């Protein structure tokens, strides 16, 4: 996998996705708190922010916000995140939030037996109203970009966002930009716009334009329509061989794929499964796993850490 030259590129990565204001009650609970801390976040954006602040890469976010104090707060948080905002699209405010809003995400931490409970308030957002033609992808990629990233959350925002993702990917490929996609299936988002069937249709169309694909077991099965033999409905056991076989099918069906990255969790006991053992498996061209690293869990950030270390550095040293 070859990246565009670092010296002549202005950005290492451009990401396309929603950025929400995250409201966090700290040690308390959303339903009884009297204060919230705020952060910004979003599946696709987090990749751009992490690569910028942890690895020093030059990253860019393509998104949209309503131009009101909440939108400006999200901008203020993104500025702190160091992600370039030149391609942030500001949408006029109607003063009430009927026509377009900014996405909000109320999240709390679990404690002991109690699971983490959240509350997404992201209907009618400016970014969900993005449609094909709104972004001048040619100009963006012509400015010099090495990697383009988007994912299944952005594609689930509305009927129009998959088309935006498609035109971005096609433009990226024309400019030799590596394209990655994180399946990141969220049932609640798809529920109102067609459910799992629609998710599969959208994802399959987009994955055909992808170089690097991220996903966990649920992503590959529910959101992309593959089967893993020997997996029951609770995902309590995940035989590595079956999984590797499934990945083989994925690569056979989508020949553009150069890398498939996933994290396999081995459940040990009820409370310790995802705290003690997780391995990243990256399946490259050679049909066998590129690398498999036992690691304390860092969820979705792990594949990106490896990629930042491998893909960007090696291509820079050229």
Q: Which residue stretch of 9-17, 28-36, 171-179, 307-315 sits at the interface with a copy of itself (rule: CB under 8 A)?
A: 28-36
Identify the residue among 70, 91, 207, 311 touching a copy of itself (CB under 8 A).
70
User: Do the Cβ atoms of 301 and 184 come closer than 8 Å?
Assistant: no
Please give the full DSSP string across 118-162, using - where no structure is assigned.
EEEE-TTBTGGG--TTSS-HHHHHHTTEEEEEEEHHHHTS-SSHH
Identify the residue among 46, 59, 63, 102 touching a copy of itself (CB under 8 A).
102
Q: Which residue stretch of 106-114, 142-150, 169-177, 250-258 sits at the interface with a copy of itself (rule: CB under 8 A)?
A: 106-114
Beta carbon of residue 231, minimum distance to a copy of itself (angstroms, whole number):
25
Please tell me whether residue 37 binds a copy of itself under the rule CB under 8 A. Answer: yes
Beta carbon of residue 305, minimum distance to a copy of itself (angstroms, whole number):
11
Identify the residue among 1, 89, 90, 120 touching a copy of itself (CB under 8 A).
120
Task: Count interface residues toward a copy of itself (CB under 8 A).
Answer: 51
Q: What are phi and psi of 185, to 5 degrees?
A: -70, 125
Q: Which residue stretch of 90-98, 163-171, 195-203, 252-260 sits at the interface with a copy of itself (rule: CB under 8 A)?
A: 90-98
Beta carbon of residue 79, minimum distance to a copy of itself (angstroms, whole number):
5
Could you give the count of Cα atoms lying within 13 Å of 297 in the half-sphere of its Cβ? 15
Rounded (10°) angle between helices 195-207 and 161-174: 10
Residue with tokens 């109320």: 106
Please tell me whether residue 29 binds a copy of itself under the rule CB under 8 A. Answer: yes
Identify the residue among 6, 97, 143, 209 touching a copy of itself (CB under 8 A).
97
Residue with tokens 């393509």: 62
Please tell me whether residue 294 binds a copy of itself under the rule CB under 8 A. Answer: no
Cα–Cα nearest to 240, from 281, 268, 275 = 281
Please tell me whether residue 218 binds a copy of itself under the rule CB under 8 A. Answer: no
The encoded tokens of residue 104 equal 């909000």
Please tell me whether residue 123 binds a copy of itself under the rule CB under 8 A. Answer: yes
Please tell me whether residue 95 binds a copy of itself under the rule CB under 8 A. Answer: yes
CA distance 10 to 30: 41
Could you give the count of Cα atoms lying within 13 Å of 112 in the half-sphere of its Cβ? 1
Identify the residue among 7, 8, 34, 294 touching a copy of itself (CB under 8 A).
34
Q: Which residue stretch of 93-101, 135-143, 207-215, 282-290 sits at the interface with a copy of itself (rule: CB under 8 A)?
A: 93-101
One symbol per residue from 149 to 188: x for binding a copy of itself (CB under 8 A), - otherwise; what is it? Answer: ---------------------------------------x
Q: Which residue stretch of 78-86, 134-142, 213-221, 233-241 sits at the interface with a copy of itself (rule: CB under 8 A)?
A: 78-86
CA distance 246 to 175: 31
The encoded tokens of residue 317 equal 């040293």
Residue with tokens 């909440």: 70
Cα–Cα nearest to 48, from 288, 240, 313, 307 = 307
Beta carbon of residue 102, minimum distance to a copy of itself (angstroms, whole number):
8
| Interface with a copy of itself in residues 231-260 (CB under 8 A) | none
Burial of 28 (0-12, 13-18, 19+ CB in 10 A): middle
Contacts of residue 123, Cβ cutoff 8 Å, sequence gap at least 6: 101
Residue numbers of the site for a copy of itself (CB under 8 A)?
Answer: 23, 29-38, 68-70, 72-73, 75-77, 79-82, 93-99, 101-102, 104, 106, 108, 112-113, 117-124, 188-189, 191-192, 296, 298
């Amino acid at each position: 996998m070859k990246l565009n030259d670092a010296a002549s590129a202005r950005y290492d990565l451009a990401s396309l996705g929603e950025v929400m204001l995250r409201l966090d009650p700290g040690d308390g609970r959303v339903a009884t708190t009297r204060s919230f801390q705020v952060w910004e976040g979003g599946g696709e954006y987090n990749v751009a922010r992490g690569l910028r602040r942890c690895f020093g890469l030059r990253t860019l976010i393509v998104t949209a916000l309503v131009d009101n104090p909440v939108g400006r707060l999200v901008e203020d948080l993104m500025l702190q995140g160091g992600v370039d905002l030149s391609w942030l699209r500001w949408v006029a405010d109607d003063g009430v939030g009927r026509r377009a809003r900014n996405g909000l995400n109320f999240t709390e931490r679990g404690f002991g037996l109690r699971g983490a409970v959240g509350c997404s308030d992201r209907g009618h957002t400016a970014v969900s109203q993005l449609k094909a033609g709104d972004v001048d992808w040619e100009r963006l990629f012509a400015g010099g970009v090495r990697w383009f990233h988007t994912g299944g959350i952005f594609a689930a925002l509305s009927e129009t966002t998959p088309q935006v993702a498609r035109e971005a990917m096609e433009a990226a490929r024309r400019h030799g930009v590596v394209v990655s996609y994180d399946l990141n299936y969220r049932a609640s988002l798809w529920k109102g716009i067609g459910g799992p069937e629609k998710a599969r249709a959208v994802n399959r169309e987009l994955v055909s334009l992808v170089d690097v694909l991220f996903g966990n077991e649920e992503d590959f099965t529910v959101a992309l329509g593959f089967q893993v033999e020997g997996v029951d409905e609770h995902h309590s056991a995940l035989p590595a061989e079956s999984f590797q076989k499934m990945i083989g099918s994925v690569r056979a069906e989508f020949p553009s794929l150069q890398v498939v990255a996933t994290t396999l969790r081995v459940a040990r006991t009820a409370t310790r499964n995802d705290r003690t053992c997780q391995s990243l498996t990256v399946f490259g061209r050679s049909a066998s796993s590129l690398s498999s690293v036992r690691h304390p869990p860092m969820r979705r950030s792990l594949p990106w850490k490896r990629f930042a270390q491998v893909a960007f550095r090696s291509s820079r040293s050229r």
